[in-house]
Amino acid sequence: MRVAVIGAGVIGLSTALCVHEQFHSLLPSLELEVYADHYTPHTTSDGAAGLWQQPPLCCFHHRLWNKETFDYLLGLLGSPAAKEMGLFLISGYNLFTQPVPDPSWKNIVLGFRNLTPKELELFPGYSYGWFNTALMLECRRYLPWLTNRLTQRGVKFFHKKVESFQEMFAQGVDVVINCTGVRAGELQPDPELQPGRGQVIKVLAPWVKHFIITHDIESGIYTSPYIIPGSEFTVLGGIYQHGNWNEANSAQDHKTIWESCCRLLPALQKAKIVDEWSGLRPARPRVRLERETIRHGQVQAQVIHNYGHGGFGITIHWGCAMAAARLFGSILQEKKLASSLQPRL
Amino acid sequence: MAAPKVAVVGAGVIGLSTALCIMETCPSCSVTILSEQFSPNTTSDVAAGMLIPHTYPGTPIHVQKQWFKETFTYLFAISNSAEASEAGIHLVSGWQVFKNTPKEELPFWSDVVLGFRPMSKAELQKFPQHQFGQAFATLKCDCPPYLLWLEKRLKATGVQMYTRKVADLWELHSEYDIVVNCTGIGAHQLVGDKKLFPIRGQVLKVHAPWVKNFIRDGDGLTYIYPGIHRITLGGTREKENWSLSPDPGTSKDIFDRCCSLEPSLGGAQDIQVKVGLRPSRQCVRLQREVLSQGGVKLPVVHNYGHGAGGFSVHRGTAKEAACLVGECIAALQDSSSRAKL
């Protein structure tokens, strides 16, 4: 049984690992391969700051997948793997200009509470907010860690741009897992999938120990300044442009990010800029996580789609990987492969 | 009297902040700092600089709270300004955890720090050996940056600083009108204060930039304090131990205790060891004294004995010391104008 995962960002690699972990012993004939034109550190995931947080005011219906991801990562925190994975706890602030309802994830994160008036003095212009402890998962470390786990398991990697699902089936692949992110439309048109262009400035500001995320209800998600400290540098952002495919950095966006973040945290004026990056969030009204049967000659070939995670791919990745693995399990059951097939959920 | 000449002895956080307060309240004063050591070789440089107060048994709680509040307010304003990174002041949040629920669940400073509340069950799961905890955000003064920033501000106001070992406060009587004694543990020998004793603290300073929260065991012995570039891991409280030499067995013990609170510290790099002697006393000695020999008087203001709580109350005690200096100046002016009659 040959399975090809297309895409090597956080979604592709975690889905591959989840499938292999759950099925390799039940299905000795399983051959898992990863195909991608970009690998770490050149994927969209690599540019993300890595903060676990579902956009609070969006009505995505993904609470369970987010919770599964958080709980999974929280369980790994105390393990020796955590540092290698780029996983650590981080606390911080979400800021609003008016009171808002509590987010659906308030009981998923740790220590969620409203901000006190004294804390709000730190953030002039914001009159309401939350404090909580969440997780950081830095893909510059997580993706290599996933790659190592997969390599140890005998998964093969191919550096190539797959042009069509048919190309895979013609090679003898039985199941394709489509984790192609923002460019999934090149394999199969999807008008609901659009780039949500973002730009970030990376600075050295090691005195910043908290994430600070502001929200502008009118202008929409990711359009308001945010500051996210990582293990090496701090990410400044606040750009979201729907439908913009341009991956080049914009001077105007740089100015917007820099000025708004320095207003939020004046000490940033002294921070040294070390990098700038633009990326395309694979935005979709809902994540596409479903099976599709595709005719290939006489055969009904299977595709599992797992793309369209917008700006919350890291937040939701493991829950989606497990859901994709369940879909794979259902394919195996239909094919009556593996004798006592009990997918571990 | 024209431009009172004030000598501040000691250049740790107490000496420097006291000198700064004197300049703020008495701009016409000529202030000179004399110290055997300057940053990075003071006791203050070893400390993590966390604003979590120590309780002095001999000082009324409302006084300690006032000192802490003044210090917190002062540093809060700096942390919120463009100077924050240069001054080394930054906000840190985290947890104080207890193996057994403490008698006093609400410390006197709980409404001064930010967002103080008991930890939730979910948060406590991270600390399986601990039953109870408190979560809050407070400020941290990184040294050397904070001391260097104070030195810079002092120099800008015209304060001179000299490396000099003062063997006896009286030796300053001919050059200075008032002496301010901020010698910390040095006061034991300098003024023979037998009520002052060291509580030795050994710490590790490690590179572990993924640790963003502080963790402190309520017993005060084990703590993890993330600084700008390094994490301070502590510690020890060895009463009457004067040794400044790091002990390797102690280092291992500290490291093990901290790793059991925060396992990811196992991956920490570049471990440095430091030792400091907390200048401990039942209460901070914050008072005036007049030394006299052969009819000559030398007013002295003492500001030492802050033990484990120097950073937490430094600005509050510095302001009070500056007030006492003001009183000394008034007394001198009074007696000098009487002498003219």
Q: At what angle do helices B310-340 and B13-25 cross, to 10 degrees?
A: 50
Nearest CB to B135: which of A111, A136, A229? A111
Chain B residues whose CB is inside 8 A of the A121 CB are 80
Q: Per 3-state DSSP, what percentage of chain A is helix, strand, and coil (rounded to 5)? A: 30, 30, 40
Task: Suggest the residue from B210, B213, B232, B269 to mutate for an interface test with chain A (most A CBs closer than 10 A).
Answer: B210
Q: Is B26 left (phi over 0), alpha (psi -120 to 50) or beta?
A: beta
Tell how far CA A192 is from the center of its chain.
Answer: 18
Residue A296: its pLDDT value, please? 84
Nearest to B81 among A82, A232, A266 (CB): A266
Dihedral sign for Cα B207, B208, B209, B215, please.
negative
Chain A CB contacts of B91 under 8 Å are: 122, 209-210
Q: Up-side HSE of residue B230: CA atoms within 13 Å toward CB?
A: 22
Q: Do B228 and A207 touch (CB under 8 A)?
A: yes
Sign of CA dihedral A283, A286, A288, A293: negative
CA-closest candidate to residue B299, choices B308, B288, B315 = B288
The pLDDT of residue B105 is 82
B110 in A contact zone (CB under 8 Å): no
Count how many Cα atoms sit within 13 Å of the Cα of residue B315 in the half-sphere of its side chain: 21
In our burial notation (b when 16+ CB lie closer than 10 A, e otherwise), range B157-168 reads eebebeeeebee
* Pairing mode, strands B5-9 and B178-181: parallel
Mean pLDDT over all residues of chain B? 96
Residue A132 falls inside a structural domain: no
Residue window 265-294, chain A: list those with CB within 8 Å of chain B: 266-267, 269-271
Say what the alpha-carbon torsion angle B230, B231, B232, B234 is, to the nearest 10 degrees. Answer: -150
Pairwise CB contact (< 8 Å): A82 & B263: yes
- Per-residue pLDDT in tens (0 to 9) along chain A, 345 residues: 999 999 999 999 999 999 999 999 999 999 999 999 999 999 999 999 999 999 887 656 688 999 999 999 999 998 999 999 999 999 999 999 999 999 999 999 999 999 999 999 999 999 999 999 999 999 999 999 999 999 999 999 999 999 999 999 999 999 999 999 999 999 999 999 999 999 999 999 999 999 999 999 888 889 999 999 999 999 999 999 999 999 999 999 999 999 999 999 999 999 999 999 999 999 999 999 999 999 888 888 999 999 999 999 999 999 999 999 999 999 999 887 654 555 555
pLDDT of residue A288: 97
Q: Using CA atoms of B36, B37, B42, B43 in order, give the dihedral in degrees to the nearest 10.
A: -10
Q: What is the pLDDT of residue B260?
A: 95
CA neighbor of A198 nearest in space, from A41, A311, A285, A316: A311
The residue among A309, A270, A311 whose CA lies nearest residue A289 is: A309
> B-chain residues within 8 Å CB-CB of A269?
82
Position A337 scores a pLDDT of 66
CA distance B115 to B92: 12
Output the tens digit of pLDDT for each of chain B's 341 residues: 678 999 999 999 999 999 999 999 999 999 999 999 999 999 999 999 999 999 999 999 999 999 999 999 999 999 999 999 999 999 999 999 999 999 888 999 999 999 999 999 999 999 999 999 999 999 999 999 999 999 999 999 999 999 999 999 999 999 999 999 999 999 999 999 999 999 999 999 999 999 999 999 999 999 999 999 999 999 999 999 999 999 999 999 999 999 999 999 999 999 999 999 999 999 999 999 999 999 999 999 999 999 999 999 999 999 999 999 999 999 998 877 777 65
Under an 8 A CB cutoff, do B212 and A80 touch?
A: no
The residue type of A277 is: W
d(Cα A143, Cα A45) in Å, to the nearest integer? 9
| Alpha-carbon span B124 to B131, nearest angstrom | 7
Chain A residues within an 8 Å CB radius of B229: 206
Cα–Cα dist A261/B4, whole Å: 46
Q: Tell whether residue B43 is among the known ligand binding residues.
A: yes
Give Rg (Cα) of chain B.
21
Look at B213 and A89 and tell me if their CB atoms are within 8 Å.
Answer: yes
**Predicted pLDDT of residue A300:** 86
Q: Are B19 and B301 in contact (CB under 8 A)?
A: no
Residue A339: the pLDDT is 47
Interface touch B211/A122, C-beta < 8 Å? no
Domain that holds residue B86: 5-339
Question: Cβ separation of B85 and A131 shorter than 8 Å?
Answer: no
B252 touches chain A (CB under 8 A): no
**Cα separation, B4 vs B28, whole angstroms:** 7
Domain count, chain B: 1
Residue B73 assigned ligand-binding role: no
Contact A231 B117 (CB under 8 A): no
A177 touches A3 (CB < 8 A): yes
The CA-atom distances, in angstroms, between A96 and each of A90, A165, A213, A220, B205 are 20, 45, 9, 12, 37
Q: If you count them, how many residues does chain B have?
A: 341
DSSP state of B263: G
Q: Is A133 close to B123, i.e. CB distance below 8 A?
A: yes
> Closest-CA residue in chain A for B128?
A78
Vertex A317 angle, CA A312 and A321, to 5°: 150
User: A250 CB contacts (<8 Å, ≥6 apart)?
Assistant: A199, A278
Contacts of A125-130 with C-beta under 8 Å, sequence gap 24+, read A125/A97, A126/A95, A126/A96, A126/A97, A126/A214, A127/A96, A127/A97, A127/A98, A127/A99, A128/A95, A128/A96, A128/A97, A128/A98, A128/A99, A128/A100, A129/A93, A129/A94, A129/A95, A129/A96, A130/A93, A130/A94, A130/A102, A130/A103, A130/A106
Q: Dig out the tokens for A119 from the structure.
A: 């804390």
**Model ipTM over 0.85:** yes
Burial class of residue B331, CB neighbours in 10 A (0-12, 13-18, 19+): middle
Q: Which residues 314-343 of A are in CB contact (within 8 Å) with B?
A: none
All residues at 6 or more sequence positions from B119 whose CB lies less than 8 Å from its CB, including other chains: A111, B95, B97, B132, B133, B134, B135
Q: Which of B140, B212, B261 to mutate to test the interface with A (most CBs of A within 10 A)?
A: B212
Cα A21 to Cα A16, A78, A147, A153: the distances in Å are: 9, 21, 14, 9
Phi, psi of B206 (to 5 degrees): -125, 160
Tell me how crowded residue B320 is: count the other CB atoms within 10 A of its CB. Answer: 22
pTM of the predicted protein model: 0.94
Cα distances from B199 to residues A94, B60, B262, in angstroms, run 41, 22, 26
How far does the CA of residue A227 sit from the closest CA of chain B (Å)? 14
- Classify residue A89: in a domain, yes or no: no
CB-based contact A316:A69 (threshold 8 Å) = yes
Boundaries of domain holding A188:
1-50+138-193+284-344
Interface of B with A in 79-98 (CB under 8 A): 79-86, 88, 90-94
Q: What is the b/e burial string over A200-227, where b = at least 16 CB atoms within 10 angstroms of the residue's CB?
A: bbbbebbbbbbbbbbbbeeeebbbbbbb
A130: in domain: no
B183 marked as part of a ligand binding site: yes
User: Is A203 near chain B, with CB under 8 Å?
Assistant: no
CB within 8 Å: A210 and B80: no
Residues A46, A51, A56, A57, CA torsion sign: negative
Task: Judge whether A146 lies within some domain.
Answer: yes
The minimal CB distance from A119 to the residues B115, B126, B142 is found for: B115
- Cβ–Cβ contact B178 with A under 8 A: no
Task: Residue B123: list chain A partners with CB under 8 A.
Answer: 110-111, 133
CATH number at residue A308: 3.40.50.720
d(CA B293, CA A101): 72
Please give the Cα distance from B6 to B23 (Å, whole number): 10
In CATH, what number is assigned to the domain containing residue B186? 3.40.50.720
Q: What is the pLDDT of residue B3?
A: 87
Q: Which residue is it, tokens 């030398």? A: B298
Give the C-alpha separation, B251 to B234, whole Å: 9
CB contact under 8 A, B114 and A232: no
B114 at interface of A, judged by CB pairs closer than 8 A: yes
Structurally, chain A folds into a number of domains equal to 1
Which amino acid is located at A136 in the chain?
M
Q: Do A110 and B114 touch (CB under 8 A)?
A: no
For residue B134, give the nearest of B107, B159, B154 by alpha carbon: B107
Rounded to 10 deg, the angle between the B310-340 and B61-79 helix axes is 100
Alpha helices in chain B (DSSP H): 13-25, 43-46, 61-79, 84-87, 121-124, 145-156, 187-190, 248-261, 310-340
Cross-strand bridge partners of residue B231 = B206, B226
What does the alpha-carbon distance between residue B3 and residue B9 come to, in Å, rounded to a whole number?
19
What tokens were used for B34? 């004399």
B259 reaches A (C-beta below 8 A): no
Q: Do A110 and B213 touch (CB under 8 A)?
A: no
Q: Are B244 and B37 in contact (CB under 8 A)?
A: no
For residue B269, give the chain A residue with the closest CA: A83
**Residues B120, B125, B131, B136: what is their CA dihedral angle, to the nearest 10 degrees?**
-40
Distance from C-alpha of A299 to C-alpha of A168, rounded to nearest angstrom: 13
